[in-house]
Amino acid sequence: MRGETAYGVQRCPLCSELFEMRNYEQKFCCDDHKQAWWRRARVRGGQVYDLLVTWRKNRKTKGGKRGQISDIAHIVDQWLMDDREKAAKSPKEMKA
């Protein structure tokens, strides 16, 4: 590693592979995984935002749907399960 300093070993949050960090703030093994993770976070954040706004507007009305927080929790549970399944695959099989 000429000209580079090792900052330790980290597990990539997208593919779960270990990698040697090039700087102390590095969280992902490569730029592609960093971009894929942030794209997914933006999409998911938008979905949760929409659900929370709907819940907040309707929570005290008589016609408000019960169980909306459960709906949000169900969606997040599905995302976590999808993430675990993707992490179990080898990095070559993963689709960002």
Q: Helix, strand or coil for residue 9?
A: strand
Query: Going by C-beta distance under 8 Å and a sequence separation of 6 or more, which residues neighbour residue 8?
Result: 20, 21
- Please state, in angstroms and rounded to a whole number, the distance separating the CA atoms of residues 86 and 96: 9
Q: pLDDT exceeding 70 applies to what percent of the chain?
A: 78
- What pLDDT was estimated at residue 62? 64
| Tokens matching residue 57 | 């507007």
Most confident of 40-49, 52-61, 69-78: 40-49
pLDDT of 89 higher than 80: no
pTM over 0.75: no
Task: Work out the average pLDDT over 46-65.
Answer: 79
Give the residue, 26 or 83, on which the prediction is more confident: 26
How far CA 38 is from CA of 31, 33, 34, 43, in Å, comes to 11, 9, 6, 9
User: With b meaning 16 or more CB within 10 Å and e meaning fewer, what string describes 17-51?
Assistant: bebebeeeeeebbeeebbebbeebeeeeeeeeeeb
